[in-house]
Amino acid sequence: MESKKCLIMIKKILFVLEDILWVIRCEYNLWLHGPYGLSKVIEKIPYRFLIKNLRRYGATIGNYCRFERGINLHRPLGKKPFENLIIGNNVYLGHNTLLDLSRKIIIEDNVIIASRCQIWTHTSIYESLDGGNNFDYKEKFGDVIIKRNSVIYSGVIIKHGITIGEGSKVGAGSVVIRDIVPFTFFAGNPAREIREI
């Protein structure tokens, strides 16, 4: 019994030390490499320390959330690189989710986003100026809002400026290029309404 208590105590001490090491690593990479360096560390942090470090750098995250390892934060900007990430309560983010922070991503309560989804808040446009090899580069932006009680299955890509309606579901591998109305199931490329829920 005493050995079991001792092992539990050692484990707690190791967790505290690991937490401190991740904090130092975040600060060091932010200082040396800027917001993208910080983002690369966040991608490797175990889920146990992830939410705490996202909050430290500007993200708003509610209670009872669980984020898996491998979150890729694209375009973290400014002194609070993750401030465009706003997440409610009881939200799940799966492995290797990509979140583009060019504009706000708002995820409301009780949302599930499965593995390898991509949420984009900008798109790049290359237009030919003279019909030849001279191109003009432009970008379009838009916030993405995922309303409460929605489920986004694995491998979904969501375009900038999209709102996913309350209680809706998006099928695996879908590409969402227009708003999804509440309480519907969408799927496909491009995603279209399959049925009401």
Q: Which residues are catalytic?
A: 122
Tell me the two tokens of residue 76: 């973290």
Phi, psi for 11 (deg, rounded to 5): -60, -45
Spatial contact of 30 and 71, defined as CB atoms under 8 Å apart: no
Distance separating alpha carbons of residues 171 and 140, to the nearest angstrom: 26
Q: Using CA atoms, how far apart are residues 195 and 93, in angstroms rounded to an integer?
A: 25
Distance of CA 178 to the CA centre of its chain: 19
CB 121 within 8 A of CB 103: yes
Q: Are 22 and 14 in contact (CB under 8 A)?
A: no
Q: What is the rounded CA–CA span in Å between residue 156 and residue 164?
A: 12
> Is 152:114 a contact under the CB 8 Å cutoff?
yes
